[in-house]
Each structure stands twice: as structure tokens, then as C-alpha cells.
Structure 1
Amino acid sequence: MAFSPRRFSPAIALKVLLFFALSVILVGTAWLWQRSPRSVASISMPHDHKGQDKGQAPKTHPIDDLIEHAGTEWFKLMAKQTHDLSGAAKAYRARRGRHPPPGFDRWYQFAKDNNAVMVEDFFDQIYDDLAPFWGVEAKKIRRQAKRFDFVVSVRNGTATQKTDHERPWMNLWHDLTSTIQEHLPDIDIPINVMDESRVIVPWEDINEYVKAERGSRKLVPRPEVVTELMGLEDVDADAGEPIEIPWVTGGLYWDTARVGCPPNSPAREVPASTNFSGPPPMPSAFPERSYYGYVKNWTAAKDPCLQPDLRESHGTFIEPLSQRTTHSLFPMFGGSKLPMNNDILIPPAMYWTKDPFYSGGEEHGGPWEQKTTKVVWRGGGTGGRNKAENWTRFQRHRFVAMVNGTAVQVAEKNAEGPGRGENFVLQGYHTYHLTATQYMDLGTWLNQITDVGMVHLICFPESGSNKCPYTDHYFEVKSGMPMAKQYAFKFLPDIDGNSFSGRYRGFMASTSLPIKATIYAEWHDSRLVPWVHFVPMDNSFVDIYGILDYFIGTGLEYKTEDGKVVEGAHDAAAEKIATAGKEWAEKVLRREDMQIYVMRLFMEYARICDDQRDRLGFIWDMD
């Protein structure tokens, strides 16, 4: 029957008009309440569902919702692209509240010549990192930087390095700087040569520094703008004494770190734990702030200030490999940091190297349909100093055990408590409503779909072999698997080691699907969107079963008119994210993008080190 229009009565017309008006109000309200694009990783779901904590299933799969809404966030972000110098400078002023730094036109031309995707939000990390230094005297910053022990410097367009002996990472950062040296102002860049991040200033002090930065924001009238930097002749002429930095080298690292958390945060007043026996605290239901158990706010999921339990479940806080932290603000540059750290991020040296150990080489995997439908992970037992009395709390040990079918089966039959393993506790099957466990036990399913293991147990004290007396009964050491071979499998988890994982960029550039858990920030975080470019995972790993159940299904095939289908699998969704991540990495995580990021960072840093920083700026685009 054909559809024919109806004539509306005045009452119905009024209802339609009211509904339309309400819709406009709601859309406008949603717009006003969006989070700052600094955290594009935070996905605002349209509504909260009652019953999440009880494990009640939504009408659609939560991951379907997360993927859909992440796509919306991604669309909004890409709508901000600029395409010429004037547009880029205008976007800068609107977002930063001041003129771009001197040399902005050279930076823009370099970015354009290298086919960069130009979205101002992509550089938010620079301004988050540098903001506190506007509250410190410029002269103090440049003197501290010059006199540090490990420094990459630029003078008159030539980069040099200062170090105590040959260090591969220093060489790589020097090399990165050298590739853009002719575009850079004179600068001194203090480098963190340790794995761990180093600067944690009490939140109250940082808050005052950031207030100073906000107070200094203004668009200086054009006649008053200074367009040339003063240079570093004063620090070059004054050798001075080596700087004295008050280092914290002992004690419980959690207590050292939590002073960087806001006063009202869940972690700020929670003291460090000293008992690390048995499994760590794990969610008995869905993780807090999740969407039916899955990560919806990537920024929050990585933040220890919001998750005090991380002090007992992540090696960084249990016993880091080394500790040399300062509570004084110092311009320290490094490859990763914790959310409470005040280090300044640069692309990690292992991302700049062409060593296939970190990248897998030039080839990054074949077509999706030719890959093996399995989860593959290889790595050492890193994360800090795991010992007989604390190894059950380390994140890599926990992940390997939780996806090992045999370990899971033993835990499920544990007489001391069903679901309790040596270093993890399983949730009940009802929590995530897994399809696979309707047909088989969890361990049997995992044995079919995972190939995960340690290649070195790295115990303390060192055993002198690849064995470890206190974990030999639990972990079988597996042979290594080069990243190039890992790309033959569909799913690649990425787990923190002593700090961030150096394989992440390689995974992102591959045709496989990265599944990422971390507490560390990196330079590229503002340009990657979870559920669009990769799959985020909670640091407890309790969501790993739900993630794999959604993408892989039961592994049991049945026939349809279109061919064979795996029960419960969303293979096409996995392929879509993997493909989108690879294509995006090839646009925004290139070596050229690292150069572009570093060039802009160093220009901004040079301005902060200048006595006339409040008046310095680029204005040649203005009429």
C-alpha cells in the first residue's frame, strides 16, 4: 500500500513543534557540555544504562555502541582540519589564546611539504607539557637546561649532544634533532636517559604554575609583538656550576608519585601498600567508569590518580627498576610519562630507530583474511623488580596467566576459591555474558585462540639463566617471535613494561589489531581515537575475555547462505579497526610526523626560555 501524507491537527502540530524545540535544546546542551578536545580519547556516551554494575546485558553489544560513538568523535575531530597558513594560525590563536611562536610560518611550510594532516588538537600534548613552565623565570629554565648532564643542543642550525658515554637513545634523539636542525632556534634539551619518567611536582605547585600560564595568555597588539628570539648567548658565556637537583632515590614510589594527583582524587590520600602477596585487587564486577565493562574514557582508564588499586597491580608502583625522581619543576624531555608526571614528551627513541626489533621491518603484515585468528604476545617479565614476594602483582605476569587456558582451568577448579589463580581472580561467567562459555569452559576456549608467553622471566636477584626459582612452576618460557611473524596473527595485545611499550607504533602500522593497556602517556595520544584506531583495554585486564569474545567468538563455525560464519564473531569490525589504524598511522605516526611535532615543540620551548616570551609571536599572517 502506498504511503499517503496525513493532515495534522493543531494539537498534533503543537506536539511536533515542542518535540523539535526540545531536540534542538538537547543537541545544544550536548554541544556545550562536550569535554575539551584535549582528550579526544574520552567518548561521551549518549546515556547511562542502569544495571551496569550488576552485569545486566544491554540491548546491543556495548562494543557496538563504543565503536559507533567513537566514530562520531573522530568525525568531529577531522572537521577541524586547516588547509593554509592563515587557517592554521587562526586555529592556533583560538585554541592557545596567544600568537603562534616565531618561525610558525617555517614550521607550517615544513609540515605542508611533508603532507601532514593539520589539526590543531594534535599538538595539545605540547601545551599541556609546557604550561607549568610559564610560571618559572625564563632565565632559570635555560640555565637549568644548559647545565644538565644529558643534553641535545642546537646552535646556529647545528645539533650536538652532551652525555657521559655512548648511549643509543641519546644518539637517536640527536639524530632526530639533526634532521630538522636548520629550522630550529638555539635551544638546550635535557634528556631523560632512564626508562622511568622523572619529574613529579606536587599538584598544588603545578596548579599555581598553570594559573600563571593562563594569566599570561593574550593576543598582544601587533605593534608590540616581538618577532625574534634573543638567543642563548648569556648561558653560553656563563659556564656556571653543575645544577643541583634534589632527587628522590628510595622509598615507596607510589607515595612519591601520588603527590602529583589532585587533592580530591581517589588516590591522593591512599598510602602505598607493603603487602604484595597473592593476587592483586581486581574488579568483582565491571571496572569503574566503564561502559558495561569496556573502556569508554581512555584518559581516565590510564590514570592512576583515579585508580588507587594500581598501586598494587602495576610494577611501576610496586617496585620500579630504578628510581630517580624530583619534586622540583625541571625541563626534562623523555619518551613517556605517567599522568601525574611533569616531564615533556618527545617521540621515543625506539620509534625513531629503524631496528626491526621494535617495528617488524618494512613489511607490516598481509591481508586480514590470510591472518590466523589468534591472539599473540611475546615479551620479557619486565615492569620493575619482580621478586618472590611481589611477582603476583606485576602486569605482564598477570596478563600472560589470564589468557593462558591451563592457568585459567586450574584457577576455576581451585579448592581455596573458584576462580582464584596465583596472580589473578576470575569473575563469574555472568558478568560479561560471553558467547564462548555457553559452549565450553573459559580455559578450553582460550587454549584455542591464544599464543602468549614470556621469553625471559627476568627475576631479582638474577638467576644467571632464563629461569626464575619462584615462577618456574607457573610459567613456561617460550621461544621469541619477531614482530614480523607476529603480524601473521590478527590480534596483538600491547602491555606496559618498565614504562611504555616500544612496540606500539609498529603494531599501529601493522595490518593486525592492537589491543592496548597502559598507564603511560605518549606524544601521539591526541591523534589516536580508541575504538576507531585500536582497542583499549582496562589495566586489570578483566575485559580481555569480553573483547576477544566479541571479535573472535566461539571459534565454532556454522554454515549460512553466504558461507561459513563463526558463532558470536565480529571479524569485520576487527578488520575495520585494524585497517583504519594502519591507514591513520601511515598519515600521522610517520617519521615525518615526529619531525613536525618536535620542530613545533622546540619552537614553543625556545619561546618559554626567552625573557620576552610574553610578547614573542608570529603575526605575518595578519592584515
Structure 2
Amino acid sequence: MINKQSRTLSACCAEYERRYGRKPPLHFDKWFKAARDRDFLLTDEFDSMMAAMEPLWGVAPSDIRARLENVISASQGEGMYRFTVSQGKQSFTNPQNWMGSIFNYWFSPEILQTLPDMTLAMNTMDEPKVVVPHDMLSYALDAAHTPREGPLLPGKYPGLAQHVDFLDIGKQNTWDALSLSCAPDTVVRDFSLEATRSPFLTEMGFLSNLTLSKDVCQFPELHDIHAGLRHPASMRITHALVPIFSQAKASCFNDLLYPSPFYAEKLRSGEYEEKHDVDWEEKDNIVYWTGSNTGGYSTSENWRSLQRQRLALMTMDESRPISLLNWTQQPGNQSSEWVSINSTIAAISNFTRVRISAAIQCDDTACMEQKDELKIKSGDRDDITDGYQARYNLDIDGNGLSGRFYRLLMSKSAVLKQTLYQEWHDDWLIPWLHYIPISMDLRDFPEIVRYLTQESEGQDLGRKVAQSSYEWSRRVLRSEDMRLVWWRLMLEYGRLVNDDRDQMWYKN
């Protein structure tokens, strides 16, 4: 990946046009120079962020701008903030919000002088907002890719073309509302089909394709085992195709991804302090996770199926049957191979330290049940540095992205990552190199624990992953990297919402 990155402006422009079918935006040269001056490593890797913007090229800019105004006015007090850029200056509707300091840094004078006037809708809530029905999404993509004479015209019925409604689907089953973005011939909408390629149908449950494993449209079982899909604590969505910037999303959402201000603030404040960390050889040979039960709204009916609670219940039940692998010589054969054997959680209990520290976001009965069954003690929280004593740190989704991910990547421990969410860095962090992915149903978790802690080659792999993430995070997850990503997104977005967007390209 590093060797393939463009080293010159002309090469970067050519690669941009090859990937995205259009020329780079105005002032792309200024962005590229700044990126090179600041040792920005991955100048070409923006596919995930660009893919989210692509359908909006099929909507007239005037309709987009009107939808934005409707979104912002309909979302007052709901974690949606207006950012405006006008004549080289930016303003924020709530400058007292702690995120304002991050955005002020990102909207530096160097960046502002390259941006056209524009308005942004910034979603600061954990949950994403936009679920566009599949037929509307397909139509917009077709319009974006169809050659035409002149600009794309706005809708003839502005009241319909520019209207935005929000649906409140928090604390309830979300599936009917979220699955609308899936194609009619996918498993979640055509009930005659079977998920034959599901990574959860293999014997051990190992993930061979991380992107595929997070495709909500292909695998309806994800809806039952992830709190953010099954029973979110809060979620207000729109079915309108409107550009809302969100920090993370499941595959059925159409929000625009941007670097999370939570990550940026933790980097700015120096949350990870190496003096509190210890070298690999000094760490306990265990997998560690502790945290609250966030992720959704818990009821007596659902809490045992939500991701964090399922992990705790699994590791607490020593008699729970599991499958492990054993290196076995075959009868009458000189060779050996890995063979699945039946076992119980007791086989790995000494190699895990997992605990739920608080029961929140639940009704009274569910809170009491969780405190009792999960043995939760009030105020019994671990220190942020406790995880550094373990060779392996597990990271799991909460209400949205896990804000501890970058800190764990920067540590000298290896990260095991269970997530359903897409984030802006997905093109930059390589599974099995910078972290070890865990399937959402946890079927692979016991064998991964056994292999990484009890096999010498597994421990070698863990050490390599820990070293890779330690080094890589310091090259591509710097505060300056996030600012440059934001700048690139703003160049793209500023062109997208401008009436002259078809002429706003960099002429090299």
C-alpha cells in the first residue's frame, strides 16, 4: 500500500481520476503540497469516504442545500450542529460545545482560504442518521454516472424534493426502518434466500472477509446480536438523501464519514501516556476487557443478546460448550492437522479478564437483572491504565464507535476488535496486521484466545500485531493526519454542494 501511493501531484491527480471518474477538486494542489510537507502517508486512500458522497452527485446542489437547512432546523437539540464557511471564515452554532475546539483547529486559515461558501450538518451523536431506500439510492447513483449536457436540474416540486422528515426509532426494534436501504434481492428483504456465504455459518466462525462480515443486508443475524441495530438507546433517522457527517455507521446507513472528534480530542489531550505502559514481555498473557453495558437500551427480553453482555455471560460460564482446535496426527498418516474438538469455557478462563463495570441505559428490571447475573458492583471501575498490563486488549462497540480504539492501537498491547461499524480509517487499518478481528457472534473468540495465549506461534503473532499497530498508528493516526483528511473532505464537499460544481476542478 505504501509503495503504491502517489509521490507527485500529477500522479495523484491521475490516480484520483482513475478511481473516481472525475478530476480532483479546486485547490487539490494546495492540499497535496501540505500533505507532502507534513509526511502524510496515504495520499490516495480515500475510497470509503468518497463512496459515501457518490450518490449526492445525482442530486442537484440547490436541493442538497435546501435539505440541509431542513435537517438542521428539524434537529435542534438533537446533537446536530451547523457549520458555515462564508468568505473565508467559519462559524459554529454552538461554540461552547467541546467539539468546537477540534473543528476550529481543523478549519485553520490555511484550509479556509481554499474552501467555497458552504453549510455542513455535523452529527455529534453516537448513532448515524441517514437510511436511504434502495430505489432512491440506485436512482441517484444512476444520475451521478449518466453523462449529461449542463448542470443537474433541481426537482420540479421543491416541497417534495427538499423536504426532510425524521423518525424516532430509539428503544424499539429498528429492522423495518433500517433494512429499506438494502436491495430487494438481498437476504434481509427476500426471505426465500439463504445467507450461504455468512462468516457465522462456518464451523469455527473465523472471519475471512471483514467487509463482507459487516454487511447488514447479507446477514440478518447481525440484527439480533448487535445492540445498535436491535434496540438502540436513541436513534432518529431520515430516509432523505442528505449529506450528514457522522463518526461511524453500519452498512445500511448513508451518512458521510469523517474523523471522529472523540479520537481527535483524545490525541490532543495525550490520553495515551507511554510511561504507564509496559513492554510485551512484562504483560500478563491474557485477553482483557472491562466497561459498562452501553450499546443499546436493555430490557429483560433483550439484554442477554446484546454484544457486551453476551461477552460477559460467555466468559463467566465455565461449563459453556465451545469448539477449540487441536494439532492432531491423523491415524495411518505421517502428517498432522488442526482438528476441531469439543471443550468448555473453563479451558480458557485463566486467559481472559472480562467484566461489566456498570449497568446503565436499561429499564429498572433489566438493570437489576444485569447487576445480579453479571455481578456488577457500583463504583467498581478499572483505571484506564489497567489494560496495559494485558498482552491483548479487546475493543467492542458501545452506542457507536469505541473511543478507546486509538489509545489501544498506540499501546504496546495487541488489539482484538469486534465491530459492526464502518469508520473513516477503514482503508488505512489492515485486519490481521494492525488488529485481530473478532466475529460479532463470538463463535471464534474462544479459539482465538487459546491460540494467542497458549500456542507459541500465536504469541509470536500477537507480539507482531502489537508492534505493527504501535508503529503504524504513529504514522497515520496523528492529529495532523486527521486535519488533512478533514481538509480533503471539505474540498470534495464544497464542490458537491456548489451550483458550479461541474467546473470546480483542479486544472493541472
Shorter-chain TM-score: what band? 0.7 to 0.9
Of residues 44, 56, 62, the one that matches 1:139 is: 62
- Alignment match, 2:226: 314
- Alignment match, 2:168: 249
User: Are 1:324 and 2:233 an aligned pair?
Assistant: no
Residue 186 of structure 1, CA deviation: 2.6
Q: Distance in 1 between matches of 2:203 and 2:492?
A: 38
- Any stretches of 5+ residues in structure 1 without a counterpart? 1-76, 219-223, 227-242, 272-282, 412-418, 420-426, 554-566
- Alignment match, 2:112: 181
Question: Could you say if the C-alpha distance between residues 400 and 355 of structure 1 is closer, same or farther in structure 2, counting changes exceeding 3 Å?
Answer: farther
Stretch deviating more after TM superposition (297-306 or 176-185): 176-185
- Alignment match, 1:211: 142
- In the alignment, is the contact (CA less than 8 A) between 1:246 and 1:328 conserved in 2? yes
Q: Distance in 2 between matches of 1:483 and 1:435?
A: 38
- Alignment match, 1:44: none
- CA deviation map 1:266-305 (0-9, x unaligned): 112469xxxxxxxxxxx9x9723x6963111110111211
User: Are 1:512 and 2:433 an aligned pair?
Assistant: no
Residue 497 of structure 1, CA deviation: 0.8
Question: Could you say if the C-alpha distance between residues 575 and 140 of structure 1 is closer, same or farther in structure 2, counting changes exceeding 3 Å?
Answer: same
Question: Could you say if the C-alpha distance between residues 578 and 100 of structure 1 is closer, same or farther in structure 2, counting changes exceeding 3 Å?
Answer: same
- In the alignment, is the contact (CA less than 8 A) between 2:243 and 2:256 conserved in 1? yes
User: Are 1:366 and 2:287 an aligned pair?
Assistant: no
- Figure out how many residues of one structure are paired with residues of the other and give that number: 474
Larger radius of gyration: 1
Of residues 364, 373, 389, the one that matches 2:301 is: 389
Q: Distance in 1 between matches of 2:409 and 2:187?
A: 32
Residue 441 of structure 1, CA deviation: 5.7
- In the alignment, is the contact (CA less than 8 A) between 1:358 and 1:502 conserved in 2? no
Q: Distance in 2 between matches of 1:431 and 1:602?
A: 52
Question: Could you say if the C-alpha distance between residues 431 and 174 of structure 1 is closer, same or farther in structure 2, counting changes exceeding 3 Å?
Answer: farther
Question: Could you say if the C-alpha distance between residues 486 and 536 of structure 1 is closer, same or farther in structure 2, counting changes exceeding 3 Å?
Answer: same
Higher strand fraction (1 or 2): 2
- Alignment match, 2:331: none
Of residues 96, 101, 118, the one that matches 2:42 is: 118
Question: Could you say if the C-alpha distance between residues 162 and 100 of structure 1 is closer, same or farther in structure 2, counting changes exceeding 3 Å?
Answer: same
- Alignment match, 1:450: 352
Instruction: Please state whether the residue corresponding to 2:232 is helix, strand or coil.
Output: coil
- Alignment match, 1:525: 426
User: Are 1:98 and 2:19 an aligned pair?
Assistant: no
- Any stretches of 5+ residues in structure 2 without a counterpart? 74-80, 152-161, 329-336
- In the alignment, is the contact (CA less than 8 A) between 1:358 and 1:503 conserved in 2? no
Question: Could you say if the C-alpha distance between residues 141 and 352 of structure 1 is closer, same or farther in structure 2, counting changes exceeding 3 Å?
Answer: same
Letter in 2 for 1:337: K
Instruction: Please state whether the residue corresponding to 1:471 is helix, strand or coil.
Output: helix
- In the alignment, is the contact (CA less than 8 A) between 1:436 and 1:442 conserved in 2? no
Question: Could you say if the C-alpha distance between residues 613 and 261 of structure 1 is closer, same or farther in structure 2, counting changes exceeding 3 Å?
Answer: same
- Alignment match, 2:155: none
- In the alignment, is the contact (CA less than 8 A) between 2:290 and 2:355 conserved in 1? yes
User: Are 1:550 and 2:451 an aligned pair?
Assistant: yes
Question: Could you say if the C-alpha distance between residues 209 and 244 of structure 1 is closer, same or farther in structure 2, counting changes exceeding 3 Å?
Answer: closer
User: Are 1:470 and 2:358 an aligned pair?
Assistant: no
Question: Could you say if the C-alpha distance between residues 386 and 393 of structure 1 is closer, same or farther in structure 2, counting changes exceeding 3 Å?
Answer: same
Of residues 147, 150, 162, the one that matches 2:93 is: 162
Q: Distance in 2 between matches of 1:582 and 1:364?
A: 15
Residue 215 of structure 1, CA deviation: 2.4
- CA deviation map 1:184-225 (0-9, x unaligned): 33321101132211100011211111122222599xxxxx9x
Of residues 471, 485, 491, the one that matches 2:392 is: 491
Instruction: Please state whether the residue corresponding to 1:354 is helix, strand or coil.
Output: helix
Letter in 2 for 1:408: E
- Alignment match, 1:570: 458
- In the alignment, is the contact (CA less than 8 A) between 2:58 and 2:143 conserved in 1? yes
Residue 170 of structure 1, CA deviation: 5.0
Instruction: Please state whether the residue corresponding to 1:333 is helix, strand or coil.
Output: strand
Question: Could you say if the C-alpha distance between residues 215 and 519 of structure 1 is closer, same or farther in structure 2, counting changes exceeding 3 Å?
Answer: same
- In the alignment, is the contact (CA less than 8 A) between 2:293 and 2:358 conserved in 1? yes
Question: Could you say if the C-alpha distance between residues 477 and 470 of structure 1 is closer, same or farther in structure 2, counting changes exceeding 3 Å?
Answer: closer
Residue 131 of structure 1, CA deviation: 0.4
Instruction: Write the mapping of 1:217-616 to structure 2, written as runs, cut at 5 A.
Output: 245-250=164-169, 252-269=173-190, 287-288=200-201, 293-354=205-266, 359-361=271-273, 365-404=277-316, 407-409=317-319, 411=320, 419=321, 427-429=322-324, 442-461=344-363, 468-477=367-376, 479-553=380-454, 567=455, 570-616=458-504
- In the alignment, is the contact (CA less than 8 A) between 1:158 and 1:178 conserved in 2? no
- In the alignment, is the contact (CA less than 8 A) between 2:67 and 2:163 conserved in 1? no
Letter in 1 for 2:18: A
- Alignment match, 2:132: 201
- Alignment match, 2:77: none
Q: Distance in 1 between matches of 2:120 and 2:427?
A: 23
Residue 366 of structure 1, CA deviation: 3.0
- Alignment match, 1:10: none
- CA deviation map 1:506-528 (0-9, x unaligned): 21222211111111110000111
Letter in 1 for 2:227: G
- In the alignment, is the contact (CA less than 8 A) between 1:360 and 1:482 conserved in 2? no
| TM-score computed with the length of structure 2 as normaliser | 0.85
Residue 79 of structure 1, CA deviation: 3.4
Residue 244 of structure 1, CA deviation: 5.3
Q: Distance in 2 between matches of 1:366 and 1:187?
A: 47
- Alignment match, 2:11: 87
Letter in 2 for 1:583: E
Letter in 2 for 1:155: S
Residue 529 of structure 1, CA deviation: 1.2
- In the alignment, is the contact (CA less than 8 A) between 1:371 and 1:490 conserved in 2? yes
Letter in 2 for 1:616: M
Residue 428 of structure 1, CA deviation: 4.5
Residue 350 of structure 1, CA deviation: 0.6
Instruction: Please state whether the residue corresponding to 1:360 is helix, strand or coil.
Output: coil
